[in-house]
A and B are shown apart, each in its own frame.
Chain A
Amino acid sequence: MSAVLVLVETDGGGATEVSRETLTFVRGLGLDVHALVVGDGPPGLVDQLGAYGVTTVHHADGDAFTSYAAAAWAAAVVAAAGDATVVTAAGTPRGNEVLAHVACRLGVTMAANVVEVESVSPLSVSRQVLGGSALEEMRLEDAVAVFSVAGHACDPAEAESHATPVVHPLDVSVPEADLRARVVRTEPGEPDESGGLKSARVVVGAGRGAGGPDGFADLLELTELLGGSLGVSRVVTSLGWRPHHEQVGQTGSRVAPDLYVACGISGAIQHWAGMSSSKTILAINTDPDAPMVTKAHYAVIGDLHEIVPAVNEELRRRSAG
């Protein structure tokens, strides 16, 4: 049986959630599922991959993989692919980057951020374009199909029958040219930089309606009262009112909180792309016809600088009482 190869990204806990989504997604192709792990995998990884239906785990290790070089990873993917007919990874920055290298090496097309397989033979997929606001149906006609799987294309789920994978150490010879662009150093991030935003249960969103760099005090207080994170529109970051790591949208973070409170945000599709998965959306806007208002579940019409302080006061009153 021919195979699908999945480049698996890992963190301390095993395969990352998006990689597990990708493994779940590709099981639908009805092919033998192989995985490639680069560098030291966390303990228990092979068993976890088996639970997701992986039958062979290729492992690339050695000097070329001690720090990240996309071209070296691509060399490993090509070595692991063998006669696989599909090569995939999660649609993360790294997944898309490595697969683009792989596509160049194999001389094939690459489709980024696939959410659905429309037909298996001939292979046709739907993928996210316009920042996820639309889908493109695309043919993949090469002998090897290379595509990344968009985050949240499916929920991660273990296979019905677990496999016991064969571990196959890969012998990859990585030429010097593939190490020209290699990480020479890393620096840790600020602990609260966007990490909190992406996983927050409540996001208070703020747009141009905040009015200026001094217009955020009430919004930050509301964020605090709800134990949430502040997210902002691109107008806010490009005017320098707030830092870029707080930006939500196509070129910022994607968030999916239980509640998104959109204050003074018009709801341009590039912003919507970053928060449309929120369970409940409450819009606060002076314009009853703003797209954010018409698309929201709930809305309050009026000036956020009057409404937000009143909400804060009511929250404080009820928690005291």
Chain B
Amino acid sequence: MSNVLVCIKRVPDLGGEITLTPDGLGVDDSALGHTVSPHEECAVELAIQVAKDTDGQATVLTLGSSDAVEQLRHALALGCTGAVLVEADASAYGPADVAAAIADVVRAHEAAGTTYDLVLLGNDASDTGDFQVGIRLSYLLDRPVVAGVSTLSVDGDRVVARGGAPDGGTEIFEVPLPAVLTVMEGGIEPRYPSIPGRMKAKKVQIEEVAPSGTPAGAGRVRLKLPPVQPSQVEVLGEGPEAAGAVVDLLEKLGVVR
């Protein structure tokens, strides 16, 4: 039996353009929907698969505002069976703070009788892109960590994890449990929620935790956007009649063989 804790972060689902808040410290997400990173979607999928294959439980965790319950419920609808909200302003938390808050939950659950053989995270959060929460967590828990895992399987007291190698091949790790793994999109197809799954998710009681201590923060001074370029598009035409103009352009660019 392997229990898995999977960590996700609520982020704005950005469309074609980004607007900053007036203080320049964040993205104005007031008019945007929210989601989690594709890496984390894959981590959730792997957590559900491992729990199912080993008769364990998959628990989803996020540190964020109460709005992040939306992302927790989504993960529950997919097949996670427990959810933890560490209620805090995520933007005040640097990666070391987030790792410490996750470690606190792991330890508290352990004290209460639930141990996690695996903690799964995304390789990098899609907003702050710090590339480190999972690794920091592994140091706090003194567990081995593999970053950038695309598929995994639990085999007794070990986990076999596969990820990309610098030369384009695959690297295979065999790591003793308990372990921390950070997941990268590409190895598996995340499932979609079913209607019974959604019904079940509504009934799950979400554990709410208050973070201990004050976060050190992320050292952010401000965000900057690249200057907006006025559109300079040259429309070559409409429909198939434009084919001649397109090939003229391809020839001009020297890309026709």
* B223→A136 contact, CB < 8 A: yes
Q: Is A302 among interface residues, defined by CB-CB distance under 8 A?
A: yes
Compute how far the CA of A291 lies from the CA of B15 in the bound complex, rounded to whole angstroms. 9
Contacts of A268 in B (CB 8 A): 14-16
* B246→A96 contact, CB < 8 A: no
Q: Which of B39, B170, B189, B221 is in CB contact (< 8 Å) with A137?
A: B221
Compute how far the CA of A202 lies from the CA of B39 in the bound complex, rounded to whole angstroms. 28
* A201→B255 contact, CB < 8 A: yes
- Closest residue of B by beta carbon distance from A9: B166
Contacts of B187 in A (CB 8 A): 244
* A181→B189 contact, CB < 8 A: no
Query: Smallest distance from the beta carbon of A172 to chain B beta carbons, Å?
Result: 18
Contacts of A168 in B (CB 8 A): none
Compute how far the CA of A226 lies from the CA of B176 in the bound complex, rounded to whole angstroms. 49
Compute how far the CA of A70 lies from the CA of B236 in the bound complex, rounded to whole angstroms. 51
Contacts of A234 in B (CB 8 A): 38
Contacts of B27 in A (CB 8 A): 130, 134
Q: Which of A109, A113, A137 is in CB contact (< 8 Å) with B224?
A: A137
Task: Enumerate A53-79 residues with CB–CB distance to B below 8 Å.
Answer: 68, 70-71
Known: A137-B224, A303-B239, A315-B256. A186 touches B232 (CB 8 A): no
* B257→A310 contact, CB < 8 A: no
* A280→B253 contact, CB < 8 A: yes
* B132→A134 contact, CB < 8 A: no
Query: Smallest distance from the beta carbon of A136 to chain B beta carbons, Å?
Result: 6
- Closest residue of A by beta carbon distance from B99: A104
Known: A180-B176, A194-B168, A302-B240. A104 touches B253 (CB 8 A): no
Q: Is A124 among interface residues, defined by CB-CB distance under 8 A?
A: yes
Q: Is A140 among interface residues, defined by CB-CB distance under 8 A?
A: yes
Chain B, interface size: which category? 35 or more
* Contact string against B for A residues 96-122, beta-carbon threshold 8 Å, 1 for contact and 0 otherwise: 110011011100011111000000000
* A315→B15 contact, CB < 8 A: no
Known: A129-B223, A181-B145, A299-B233. A100 touches B136 (CB 8 A): yes
- Closest residue of A by beta carbon distance from B172: A185
Known: A136-B220, A267-B16, A298-B233. A97 touches B238 (CB 8 A): no
* Contact string against B for A residues 295-321, beta-carbon threshold 8 Å, 1 for contact and 0 otherwise: 111111111001101110111001100
* Contact string against B for A residues 255-282, beta-carbon threshold 8 Å, 1 for contact and 0 otherwise: 0001100000011111010000000101
* B126→A93 contact, CB < 8 A: no
Compute how far the CA of A124 lies from the CA of B179 in the bound complex, rounded to whole angstroms. 34
* B148→A97 contact, CB < 8 A: yes
Q: Which of A94, A100, A306 is in CB contact (< 8 Å) with B135?
A: A100
Query: Smallest distance from the beta carbon of A253 to chain B beta carbons, Å?
Result: 10
Query: Smallest distance from the beta carbon of B18 to chain A beta carbons, Å?
Result: 6
Q: Which of A111, A130, A227 is in CB contact (< 8 Å) with B257?
A: A227
Compute how far the CA of A141 lies from the CA of B232 in the bound complex, rounded to whole angstroms. 42
Contacts of B135 in A (CB 8 A): 70, 97, 100-101, 104
Q: Is A294 among interface residues, defined by CB-CB distance under 8 A?
A: yes
Known: A129-B127, A258-B253, A293-B233. A266 touches B16 (CB 8 A): yes
Task: Enumerate A118-148 residues with CB–CB distance to B below 8 Å.
Answer: 124, 126, 128-131, 133-141, 148
Compute how far the CA of A188 lies from the CA of B168 in the bound complex, rounded to whole angstroms. 7
Which 10 pairs, one residue from A and one from B, show the smallest C-beta to C-beta distance?
A: A291-B16, A310-B240, A180-B144, A310-B243, A100-B132, A189-B168, A100-B135, A302-B239, A181-B144, A96-B131
